[in-house]
Structure formats: structure tokens, C-alpha cells
Amino acid sequence: MNAQRAASSSSAVLEVRDLAVEFPGHGAAFRPVRGVSLSLERGQRLGLVGESGSGKSLTALALMRLLPRQARIAQGSVMLDDRDLVALSEREMTRMRGGRIAMVYQDPMSSLNPVQTIGHQIAEAIRAHERVGRNEARGRTIELLRDVGVTHAERRFDSYPHEFSGGMRQRAMIAMAVCGNPDVLIADEPTTALDMTTQARIIDLLDSLVAERGMAVLLITHDLGVAGSFCDAIQVMYAGRIVEAGEALDVFGHPVHPYTEGLVASICELDRDVDKPIVTIAGQPPLPQRLPHGCPFHPRCPAAESVCSESEPALLQLRGGRRAACHFADARLDRTA
């Protein structure tokens, strides 16, 4: 097993191709995720950013095969090393979850079972993948709790979720996610529900844990600051599609797609001139049931021209390993560079 992993270490550990999520309905089926591709190398950190409703979280759940019951993966493949997760039986997929691919969820308040102790829930995750006794699992859990910075871990093992603060719960969730040393860790808005100082600490914790264990991370966030400080690469999602991809510095420093540009411009910098108005993108993201014709961003786009309402641009390969889905991508790249 280890040899096999080492052998394939140069290539991508997770390779998602053309993934689509569909909510089937009576004549009203719609796809909130349409043709998403992404690739993660060992130890790489990829940020998936976009507004809420852009399909980021559904993409993450699709990778885990934990979509809501009404939804299904309509097309695409999710290769984890050489196995396609989409094609696995439910039983095989269950073994993968928590073992090879694990997830940290958005809301640590409701993502923990309220009637079980924190320690029990983490130990359960350990025992789901390894044949270890109760006592050993307990010992390992306490160690893990220490690793994620829970003080008095020994005593906290027997605490219930409601006795933990939000930050502590998220630390416990992270401990639960990394306990099986997964190859890929998906973190879905791991800091959104937390206050500012706790957010920074949780990101620091993720940072050191991931570096130590060499996991690949897919960070899903709407917070460009978090994405920029944590990730190597960025993919921007809009209306269920990837609209821009590239190195984090490039994407945020010189955005090509007008949507990314808008996102970057709307970051409210504290040291900026207070008289300058806060820039926002006008309008609302479209509902996946009612996508506009052509480029889904064109109704909100300040640079839209007639072609934008006629055809949807493909995600084009640009210079410097960048990609963008805009009819004017080349020209815009030249302009920004």
C-alpha cells in the first residue's frame, strides 16, 4: 500500500473530471454543478471560492458521495489515485470515507451528535477504519485532541458537544477528519461559523496539521482572505461552473474573469481610504433552475457585450497555466499582465 502510494506520488492524488450534480424533477431537473474539473496533487492546497449558491458545497458533498437524497451525480468521474469514486459500490465508498478522503463541515454546532461525547465520536471514527480496542482508541483520541489544541484533553474526552465552544468543536471536527490520515481533506467553510480570532487560529491549525501529515486539501470558502493566505491554487466557481483557475497569487493579483475581478474588488480592506465606497457586484447570482442564456454572469457583468448573452464561453487554457471562462479572456489577460 505504502509503496503504491509512493510510486504515484508525482501525479495527482485527486482528479475530478467533468462532474455534474443533478436534482431530478418531473420535467424540471436542474444541475447546480455543471462540468466541474479539478486536480489535487499530494500536499497541494486548492481553494474553491465563490458566492453561496455557486455549487461549491455540493461539489464537495459529491466528492464524498454524501449528496442529499434527492440529488445525484449525473456525470463525471472522481479519481482518487486509480479508483473512480463515482463507480464504487456504497460499501466500498463507505470504506473510503474517513479513511482516504475526509471532510470538515461548515457548522460545528450541528455537525456533532448532541447526545454522544466528543471523545466517543472521534474514537468511533478511528474504529471505523482500524481494528483497535476501546482503550487504544481512547488513548489515540486524547492524543489527537491534544494535537488539535484542545486543553485538558483527558478530561474533555467525556464532554458533550454543547459543553464545547464553537472553536473547540471545530477543532474536534478536524481531529475527527484527520484521524484516519486521509489522502484528501475537504474543508467546507471551516471557519464561517466562528468569530474572527478563532477563524485565524483554526486556519493556523489546519495549516500545520496538513503540512505535518502531507495531506492534499480542498478548501471551500467564500472568504478570499482565507483562501489567499492558505491555498496554493484557486478555482473560482460561478453558477455551478469553474470560471477561473490558476495560482493563488495570479488569480487574486491579476484576475482575468470579470467575476473574479468583482470578488477581489469587493474585499473590504481595513487600511483603505474610508471615503472610497465599498465595491460590490451588482445583482444576485442566478438560481440553478433559471440560468440566463449565454454566459451565466452576463446580466451582472460590467464588461458584457452582445456575444455574452448568446453563447456560454468554454473554460479556456491561457498563458502561465491559467484558465478562464470568458469570451474576452485573452484580451483581459494581456491587459492585466
**Secondary structure E strands in 215-291:** 216-221, 233-238, 241-247
CA distances from 114 to 53, 66, 122, 159 (A): 28, 21, 13, 10
For residues 178 to 217, the per-residue mask of contacts with other proteins, x marking binding by CB under 8 A and - elsewhere, is --x-------------------------------------
Q: Which of 125, 210, 227, 301 binds other proteins (CB under 8 A)?
A: 125
Compute the CA torsion angle 59, 65, 71, 76 (nearest 10 deg). 60
Report, in Å, the least distance between residue 284 CB and other proteins.
Answer: 25
What's phi and psi for 266, nearest 5 deg? -85, -5
| Residues contacting other proteins: total by CB under 8 A | 35
C-alpha span between 115 and 85 (Å, rounded): 32
- By the 8 A CB rule, do 141 and 123 touch? yes
Q: What share of the chain is helix, strand, coil (3-state, %, to 5)?
A: 40, 20, 40
Q: Which is nearer to other proteins, 126 or 239 (CB)?
A: 126
Q: Which of 41, 51, 81, 107 binds other proteins (CB under 8 A)?
A: 107
What's phi and psi for 248, nearest 5 deg? -55, -45
Mark the segment that binds other proteins (CB under 8 A) among 33-41, 95-103, 298-306, 308-316: 95-103
C-alpha span between 15 and 41 (Å, rounded): 9
C-alpha span between 206 and 283 (Å, rounded): 34
Q: What is the DSSP letter of 106?
A: S
Q: Which of 98, 246, 255, 294 binds other proteins (CB under 8 A)?
A: 98
Mark the segment that binds other proteins (CB under 8 A) among 146-154, 176-184, 314-322, 328-336: 176-184
Q: Is position 131 an interface residue for other proteins (rule: CB under 8 A)? A: no
CA distances from 157 to 116, 148, 169, 206, 252 (A): 11, 13, 12, 21, 41
Q: Which is nearer to other proteins, 54 or 106 (CB)?
A: 106
Q: Is position 113 an interface residue for other proteins (rule: CB under 8 A)? A: yes
Q: Is position 128 an interface residue for other proteins (rule: CB under 8 A)? A: yes
Q: Is position 163 an interface residue for other proteins (rule: CB under 8 A)? A: yes
Report, in Å, the least distance between residue 111 CB and other proteins.
Answer: 4
Q: Which is nearer to other proteins, 90 or 269 (CB)?
A: 90
Q: Which of 6, 7, 66, 249 binds other proteins (CB under 8 A)?
A: 66
* Residue with grid cell 477504519, as numbered in its chain: 129
Strand partners, 327: none
Q: Which of 139, 160, 247, 286 binds other proteins (CB under 8 A)?
A: 160
- By the 8 A CB rule, do 109 and 166 touch? yes
Q: Which of 148, 153, 168, 173 binds other proteins (CB under 8 A)?
A: 173
Of 115, 122, 131, 231, give the one whose Cα is nearest residue 179.
122
Q: Is position 95 an interface residue for other proteins (rule: CB under 8 A)? A: yes
Q: Is position 110 an interface residue for other proteins (rule: CB under 8 A)? A: yes
Report, in Å, the least distance between residue 147 CB and other proteins.
Answer: 18
C-alpha cell at 236: 473560482
Q: Is position 1 an interface residue for other proteins (rule: CB under 8 A)? A: no
Report, in Å, the least distance between residue 200 CB and other proteins.
Answer: 24
Residues that bind other proteins (CB under 8 A): 61, 64, 66, 90-91, 94-99, 102-103, 105-107, 110-116, 121, 124-125, 128-129, 160, 162-163, 173, 176-177, 180
